[in-house]
Amino acid sequence: MTRAIITAQGKGSRWSSDRRDNIELPSINKQLLPLGDETVISRTIRQLQERGVSDIWLIGDPGVFGWIERVGHYTLREPAGSIIQGIISLRHLWMEEKDVLFVLGDVIFSNATMDVIVQHKQSSLFGRTGANDVTGKAAKEIFAMRVVGNKDHSSKLYGKLILLNSHTSMPGNLKLWDLYHQIQEVGFMGFVEVVGEYTDDVDSPEEYEQFFSKLEECVAEDDK
């Protein structure tokens, strides 16, 4: 059975209350942005559960996420710095498991992308280098990571995480794409590209203004 760990360490610092063009922008974590009757994070939890993933750990501030409407069962844990630092601190949840899926909590996943991520049975990173159909962004982005197999693989990955964390002066800014470059030489983890479609994270209030209504339309159509 797959264990899913959703990383949601963000404090919402880039989303402090502001006004642009007479539009009130929310002081809110991206993970709690509304998508119809759901939030980004509750949609991800629901998508995982609908695909048979019942062992879900949400890594985030209980003061932020403790009040959100529960969608089935998940366990809430305190965050530990950056995504990389959080994965390191949670080693007891994944180094002894045979199948663990890390999912970024601020990503709006299409159902097709979630199908690929959950059904894929090899150690892989999932992301995109091509453009998003809605936003047009073509940044190199990692949205999820699966760790499958033996303890040797997990130990090698843990070593690379420690190395990456110790060789930066800005640990809070570490991205999973940096990890991809670190582990290429290990050879057991590939990259599965999500081509086109709307799966993406919304990086700024400006993007929220420009794209979020369109993303909501895509989500509603996708869920029909």
Among residues of the chain, what percentage have pLDDT more than 70? 80
Q: Measuring CA to CA, how many Å separate 185 from each of 85, 122, 126, 156, 180?
A: 21, 17, 18, 11, 10
pLDDT tens for each residue of 94-131: 888 788 999 998 899 999 999 999 999 888 889 888 88
Q: What is the pLDDT of residue 91?
A: 86
Q: What would the CATH number be for the domain defined by 3-222? A: 3.90.550.10
Residue type, 145: M
Instruction: Give the count of beta carbons closer than 10 Å to the beta carbon of residue 77.
Output: 16
Query: At CA 204, angle to CA 200 and CA 210, rounded to 5?
Result: 75
pLDDT tens for each residue of 185-221: 666 788 898 887 888 887 777 777 788 888 889 999 9
Indicate the domain borders of the chain.
Answer: 3-222
- φ, ψ of residue 143 to 5 degrees: the values are -105, -25
pLDDT tens for each residue of 144-180: 999 887 788 888 888 888 888 877 655 455 567 777 7
